């Protein structure tokens, strides 16, 4: 009981991450993992705990977006299943990566995420295209997104949303909700493999998941009314600051002398 009380702050963290992640289709892990890392959590523990929250956030968001009829199920199912092999590989890689390298690579992912968020309004959907050539691109992109999802605990929406909008031609209004549907598959498979490897702390993951589930419901409901410009600027600034902190921690890490 004392341990649960000590980590009660994970509930509001999951809630805030769930709201933001649901609205922009990234799953919320890009908020949770840096916060856990700065709090001293080992990278593998932070990523595996975050996947539980990402899954619950994706479930809650999908339920709400399904009622709004904003999910393209046929496309989401294909991309979700294609991401699973990558999530398995990402979970195994997480066992071999050092804390400093994790922070360096995750900082790069956050920079890419901030660029995506800042430019999402500029993304213009083309004519809907799901040709054989495009499916080849989708296979590679989904595999890569799966690795990112499981390795960093962020879901992979940074890859899926631009893929669906810029390459496949889906509107942003449908891409973010469909991304949350995809993240259910990516997060669930990564969560299972991480659990088999003994990475997560289930009490901590449970607290994060409670907040993320509630945040997913709230975020999906207000996504049509929120001032996206202000949200975009705020999240971009937060990600930029977080990535700088991660880079500083990575480069200032003490070097182990054999």
Give 123's pLDDT tier (boundaries 50, 70, 90).
low
pTM confidence score: 0.83
- Write down the pLDDT at residue 173: 78
- Write down the pLDDT at residue 108: 87
The count of structural domains within the chain is: 1
Q: What value does the mean pLDDT take over residues 31-49?
A: 91
Q: In sequence order, what DSSP letters do the residues of 62-114 get, joined into one string? A: HHHHHHTT---HHHHHHHHHHHHHHHHHHHHHHTT--HHHHHHHHHHHHHHHH
184 closest CA partner among 49, 76, 45: 76
234 lies in some domain: yes
- Residue pLDDT, tens place only, 236-254: 787 788 888 888 888 886 5
116 lies in some domain: yes
- Residue pLDDT, tens place only, 130-167: 677 777 888 888 898 899 889 988 877 777 877 787 77
255 lies in some domain: no
151 lies in some domain: yes
Determine the structural domain holding residue 16 and report its residue range. Answer: 10-247
254 lies in some domain: no
Q: Is the pLDDT of residue 199 over 80?
A: yes
Torsion sign, CA atoms 73, 77, 78, 79: positive
């Amino acid at each position: 009981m004392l341990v649960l009380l000590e980590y009660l702050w994970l509930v509001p963290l999951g809630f805030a991450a769930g709201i933001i992640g649901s609205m922009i289709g990234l799953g919320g892990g890009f908020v949770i993992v840096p916060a856990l890392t700065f709090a001293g959590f080992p990278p593998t523990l932070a990523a595996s705990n975050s996947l539980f929250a990402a899954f619950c956030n994706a479930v809650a968001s999908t339920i709400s977006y399904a009622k709004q009829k904003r999910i393209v199920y046929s496309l989401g199912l294909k991309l979700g299943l294609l991401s699973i092999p990558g999530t398995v590989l990402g979970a195994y890689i997480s066992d071999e990566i050092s804390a400093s390298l994790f922070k360096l690579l995750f900082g790069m992912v956050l920079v890419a995420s901030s660029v995506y968020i800042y430019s999402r309004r500029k993304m213009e959907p083309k004519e809907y295209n799901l040709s054989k050539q495009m499916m080849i691109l989708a296979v590679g992109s989904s595999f890569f997104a799966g690795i990112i999802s499981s390795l960093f605990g962020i879901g992979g929406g940074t890859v899926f949303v631009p893929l669906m909008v810029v390459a496949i031609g889906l509107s942003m209004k449908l891409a973010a909700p469909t991304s949350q549907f995809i993240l259910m598959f990516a997060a669930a498979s990564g969560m299972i493999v991480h659990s088999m490897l003994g990475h997560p702390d289930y009490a901590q993951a449970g607290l994060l998941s409670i907040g993320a589930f509630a945040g997913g419901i709230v975020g999906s409901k207000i996504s049509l009314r929120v001032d996206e410009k202000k949200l975009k600027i705020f999240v971009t600034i937060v990600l930029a600051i977080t990535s700088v902190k991660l880079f500083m921690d990575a480069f200032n890490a003490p070097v182990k002398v054999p």
